[in-house]
Amino acid sequence: MRTLTTVRSVTRWRRPLQREGATIALVPTMGALHEGHRALIRSARLSCDAVVVSLFVNPLQFGPREDLARYPRQRARDAALCRAEGVDILFAPSVAEMYPAGSATTVAVPVLARRWEGAHRPGHFEGVATVVTKLLAIVQPDVAMFGQKDFQQAALVRRLVDDLNLGVTIRVHPTVRERDGLALSSRNIFLTPAQRRSAPALYRALLAGRDAIREGARTRAAVERAMRTVITRLPLMRAEYLASCDPETLEPARRLAGRLVLLGAAQLGRVRLIDNLVVNGRR
């Protein structure tokens, strides 16, 4: 495995490969890799000739009051995991390499960024859309892998790749969970033991929503009530949103029919958890 830190070095690496017809998969990450990332890398490994993992804590997607400074960084461990998984290139650029002085271009998908994470994190998805567009232009992969845990992000990336004709196949890998259901996240290490015990309630809330739909709930409000009840029982946890949505547009589902996604976010001390569950509503 080679670690590259400049755009130029990535271009130099990929050009001859692509001339030969080799395919490249990109796994974009912010580092602090866990088993969810490992699953993405393995899936990437299976689908292409070469695998690039990018490791970049993107300042553009953090709000001024968010956790950019304390976002977990563990470069040596990340490199070891990538090496063990047969990654070809670890692309770990500096902030100055990605956003040189004078950088001024932004990519946005306003219609998908308005609600849910976008509403709670103004500017977040513009930062995501911009850095993903750049990473795809730098690596020019055939396939890029994203985790389902960030459902809204994956929907937005799919949209922007289609809209900007980037010609990359976006694969979304199912969320990897702890045995008690908690979705893996680099931020989970910030949970205190008591918070960690409460954390799986977010997933349980989503399951309660699914059960409510299966048992014939007729309204969105009824489903959301079923989810919210699970969270409000817990003194440490505060629900931010719990919603049943159209999985393409992310608008609140008009009818509890067809394919739906339940989206949830909750605050647990200083940690925000997000999770989601795709469910089938009535036929």
Six-digit token string for 124 = 């977040």
| Residue 54 interacting with a second copy (CB under 8 A) | no
The yes or no reply on residue 11 touching a second copy (CB under 8 A) is yes
Q: What is the dihedral of CA 162, 165, 169, 171, to 10 degrees?
A: -30
Comparing CB distances to a second copy, the nearer of 152 and 186 is 152
Kindly state the smallest distance separating residue 20's Cβ from a second copy, in Å.
Answer: 9
Binding segment toward a second copy, per CB under 8 A, in 74-82, 134-142, 174-182, 205-213: 134-142
Comparing CB distances to a second copy, the nearer of 100 and 235 is: 100
Q: Which one, 107 or 226, has the nearer CB to a second copy? A: 107
Stretch that binds a second copy, among 125-133, 169-177, 238-246, 272-280 (CB under 8 A): 125-133
- Tell me the closest approach of the beta carbon of residue 18 to a second copy, in angstroms: 8
In the bound state with a second copy, the residue whose beta carbon lies nearer, of 111 and 189, is 111
Asked if 276 contacts 255 with a C-beta cutoff of 8 angstroms, the reply is no
Angle at 211 between CA 207 and CA 215, to 5 degrees: 175
CB-CB contact of 50 with 86 (8 Å): no
Q: Is 35 in the site for a second copy (CB under 8 A)?
A: no
Is 61 a binder of a second copy (CB under 8 A)? no
Q: Are 25 and 53 in contact (CB under 8 A)?
A: no
Residue 120 falls in the annotated catalytic set:
no
Q: Which is nearer to a second copy, 105 or 235 (CB)?
A: 105
Q: Which of 34, 37, 124, 173 is catalytic?
A: 37
> Positive or negative CA dihedral for 207, 212, 214, 219?
negative
- Joined together, the tokens standing for residue 50 give 């070469």
> Does residue 153 belong to the site contacting a second copy (CB under 8 A)?
no
> Which residues 190-209 are close enough to bind a second copy by CB under 8 A?
none
Helix (H) or strand (E) holding 117: helix 117-120
Contact call for residues 229 and 208 (beta carbons, < 8 A): yes
What tokens does 232 get? 């409000």
Among 17, 68, 166, 236, binds a second copy (CB under 8 A): 166
**b (16+ CB within 10 A) / e for 143-179:** bbbbbbbbbbbbbbbbbbbeeeebebebbbbebbbee
Please state the closest distance from residue 3 (CB atom) to a second copy, in A: 19
Read off the amino acid at residue 233: R
**26-34, 103-111, 195-203, 258-266 -> range binding a second copy (CB under 8 A):** 103-111
**Would you tell me which residues interact with a second copy (CB under 8 A)?**
7, 11, 19, 21, 100, 102-112, 129-130, 133-134, 137-138, 159-160, 162-167
